Every structure is written in structure tokens, then in C-alpha cells.
Structure 1
Amino acid sequence: MALMSITYYSQVMDLDLSVQVLYPDKGRVDNPDDTDIPVLYLLHGMGGRDTTWLRLTSLERLVRKTNLIVVMPDTHNGWYVNTQYGYPYFDALAIEMPDVLKRFFPNMTDKREKTFIAGLSMGGYGAMRLALATNCFSHVASLSGALSFKGFDPRKESLGSPAYWTGTFGEITDWESPENPHSLINLAKKADKTTKMYIWCGEQDFLLPANNFAAQAFKELGYEVDYQTAPGRHEWYYWDKQLEVVLSWLPIDFQLEERLS
């Protein structure tokens, strides 16, 4: 894969944003002149950035023979929402970034059925939010995603100050309420039920109750949800292993390098 690091001016944010892009190499894929290449947006978690998936997983090795564009944006700790402090991360990713990338990569698909999104932890939440709010993605995957705040209050878990959470989401009176700003359920009620979901969470992960709650809620709303749990914590060791599962789950010709039997 060709690796491209792009810095561009975001009019929506009024600042420079960075994005890493893996692009299929001619000579390694079967159809290098494809004019409708599938795309996967891959979102980082809290404390991460656009290079984190590249640095801490086998991503580049896994997709090196697959006709797939992988886009890894940098959205700081903004939770992929239009924050209360004035940085509209959601608009920057959902509206502006696809148009920016299309200018750089005219062969990138603009078809919903070939456009996918995935993320981990905060990025799992962001992937679900973008998929449900835009109807631009046919498949969405969440690894250890903060899919609700069922069972814990992040303000009490040393995950940022109260001012940080208020600045991101606004005042919150009831973190357990399905009406709170973090809830994806209301978005899911209005979204296209053909969106396919893959959700994974480790059994020792503090976000397991949140994932159990969200996966069941999505199923009850009529979504096709592949929900998996296994022994694991909130760590990259498990997300790296799950990345191959996600790539195999997507409707692409995933060309993993052959292994000796």
C-alpha cells in the first residue's frame, strides 16, 4: 500500500487537519485501475491521532494486497461531535472530509454500499454516530466502543475533567437516560436499518455493560448486528487481532497473505 500523510485546511474547523491514507499499490492488487475503489474510514480513540492505527496494529500488512482505501483522520479528543466549545468535528468528518478526499483520490467510491467505517473506544462511538446520522456507510464496526455510558460515569473515572465533558457534550443531568447526548439509540431509530453492524468488546473491558446494552438495543430496532465478546481488556493487543476480523467481515475482496498450514 502507498501511505500518504495529508495536511489540509478545514474551512469547517478553520484550522489545519491531518489525515493518513493507505492507497492500493499497482502490482499488488488485481484491479489497480479500478475507478470505484471501496473506502474504510478508521477512527482512533481518546488520546490517539491519525497515525495511531498505523503505529499500533498490523493494518498496513493486512491490507497490502487488498483493493481498499483506508482513511485515518485526526480529531483529537473531540468525540466526533460538534462540540460545545466551537469545534464541529462531526461536520468536518461527515460533510467536508469526503469532498476533500475525492479531490485527492477521484477513484475513491462515493457509493454507500462500498463505503465503510470502524473505530475503537471513542472511535467506536464516532463510527456508530457517523453511520447512523449520515446514511453514508453500509457497514459499521465498533471495537470496545463507548456505545453508551451504561454502567459508569466517565466524569468519575479519571477520563477527563468535568469541564472537558461539558465542553464536549454540554450539560448532562442523567447519564443513564436514553435521551442523553451520548445515546446512539435515538439516532438508530431514525436511520436506515440496512446498515450492518459488527460490535466486539472484551469480557474484562469496563465498557462491556455499555456494549451489551447497545447491541441488544440495535437488534431490537431491527438492525443486523454481529455482536461478539471474548476474553480481553481495553488494550491494543485485542484490537489488533479484531482488525483482521473486521476486514474479513466487510464485503470486499480481502486478500490476506497466505499462511503455511
Structure 2
Amino acid sequence: MHWLHVHFHSETLGMPVQMEVLLPESPILTDKDYPVLYLLHDMGDGHTSWLRKTNIETHIEELSMAVVMPMGHLGYYTDMFSGKKYFSFITEELPAICERMFPLSEERIIAGNGIGGYGALKAGLLAFDKFKKAASFSAPIDIDSISRRLTQDQSLDIFGLNDDLKGTEHDLYAVEVLSSRTQFYLSCDVDDYRKDNRLFAEYLQRSGLSCSIREIQQFPDKWKNLDRSLSEFIIWLSEKKGVK
């Protein structure tokens, strides 16, 4: 696959940003538009982490699919109360820019690990007209557990003055309109957010949405777990129609 390192200016964020892009190898002149996976990183990682620490290129190459790995900084993939609009960036500006730059179809998939998984699920729920599939790997689901990762100042910048975030726009359970247009996939280690992921999968299924959940054996190394999760997700994608 072709690996591109891309710098561009984001009008939404008001600053230069970076992303890594994998494109299927093909003749330079082609009328083929590729499905695309937007792959988000956890807080504390970066846009190169998936390429450096997993076998993403090997896993994806047989699907004839592009992969876009943007820098998410520490924005929690949220339109911050006092800061940048990261949710608008990943759901609106980023797909538009990528589709101008590269031969991409509207078959968009979004996934991520940790907080990147939270951002992907949020995108699948709220931007269901943009993403046909949304997946999370070992993602925190409960908004209280997510906010506990933050210092008081960080929480104020990202989520605002709310002492209780349940029921707010940041709570995955509080989305008012649920659409069956997006298919969901949740993966977690047997000891990592298992209960939260099970409960959320059951909630989506009860609400009439398509949701698959996988629990994988836990290895001591975080990235070995994630590579296994990613591999199983790619297998799941290959079983679905419209990605080859």
C-alpha cells in the first residue's frame, strides 16, 4: 500500500494538522473510489501509533480500502467548551478534505481505541449520515469514567462547568435520535471495560441498532491486544458487503 504523511491547514481547528494515509496500490489513473477507514488514536498516543505499533497495513491491504489516521491531540474528539472543535473536525472537515485529496467513496467507517473509540462511537451515533460503520477497541463508555481521566482544569476546558455529565451531549446514552443506518462493533479485553461495553452493546441492540461485540484474550502488552482487536475487526469488515 502507499503510505502518505500529510500536512494541511484545518479551518475548523484553526491550525496546521497532520495525518497518515494508507492507499491501495493501483495505477495512477483510476476511476475507482475506495472505502475509507478513519482510525482514531487514544489520548497519549498519536497519529503514527497505529502504523508504528500494529500491523494495520498487512491487515487492511486485501480489502482495497484506504485508512486515514488523523492527529487528535488531547481534544477527546469533542467540540470543546473552551478550545477546539475536534468533533466537527473529524465528522465534517476531515472527510471533506480527504475526499478532495484522494479517490475515496462515501463508504466511510470510523474506529478507534480508548478515547478514540469513544470518539468513533459518538461519531457513529451523532453523524450517522456520514459513517456506515463505527467501532471501538477497549473504549471507556461511561462518561463519568471518561471525565475521571482528566484534571479539573482539563475537564473544564473540554466539557465545561457540568458537575454531572450524565444526560449531556457528551453521554453516549443520551443521544436523542438513534438511527439504524450505522452498524456498530465493540471490542474489549476480557478485563478492560468489559461490563461497560456489554451494557452499551445491549442498549444499542434493545434500541434496534445493529451491534456486534467481541471479547478478546488479554495479553500483557497493550498493542498486542490492539493488533488482535484490529485484526478481528478487519475480518468482521471483510464479512460485510460493500468493502471489497
Task: Give the alignment's TM-score, normalised by structure 2.
Answer: 0.89
Q: 1:1-16 to 2 correspondence within 5 Å?
A: 1-16=1-16
Q: 1:34, CA displacement in angstroms?
A: 4.8
Q: Is the 8 A contact 1:78 1:89 kept in 2?
A: yes
- 5+ residue gaps, structure 1, are 256-261
Q: Take 1:153 and 1:200, find their aligned partners in 2: how far apart are those partners?
A: 17
Matched with 1:108 is 104
Matched with 1:185 is 173
2:124 is equivalent to residue 127 of structure 1? no
Matched with 1:66 is 63
Matched with 2:184 is 197
Deviations 1:3-42 (A, max 9, x none): 0011101111110011110000128xxxx93522111110
Among 140, 157, 163, the alignment partner of 1:173 is 163
Q: Is the 8 A contact 1:247 1:254 kept in 2?
A: no
Q: Take 1:66 and 1:198, find their aligned partners in 2: how far apart are those partners?
A: 18
Q: Is the 8 A contact 1:143 1:201 kept in 2?
A: yes
Matched with 1:161 is 151
Q: 1:99, CA displacement in angstroms?
A: 1.6
Q: 1:195, CA displacement in angstroms?
A: 1.4
Q: 1:139-158 to 2 correspondence within 5 Å?
A: 139-149=133-143, 152=145, 154-155=147-148
Deviations 1:67-115 (A, max 9, x none): 101010101111111111220111111111112112211x2102xxx21
Among 90, 94, 98, the alignment partner of 2:91 is 94
Matched with 2:72 is 75
- 5+ residue gaps, structure 2, are none
Q: Is the 8 A contact 2:51 2:57 kept in 1?
A: yes
Instruction: Give the stretch that moved more between structures: 230-239 or 4-13.
Output: 230-239
- Specify the SS of the correspondent of 1:64: helix
> 1:204/1:160 Cα in 2 relative to 1: closer, same or farther (>3 Å)?
same
Residue correspondences, number = 239
Q: Take 1:253 and 1:57, find their aligned partners in 2: how far apart are those partners?
A: 25
> Which amino acid in 1 is paired with 2:132?
S
> 1:249/1:146 Cα in 2 relative to 1: closer, same or farther (>3 Å)?
same
Matched with 2:42 is 45
> Which amino acid in 2 is paired with 1:11?
E
> Which amino acid in 1 is paired with 2:89?
A
Deviations 1:179-205 (A, max 9, x none): 044311222x41321311110111211
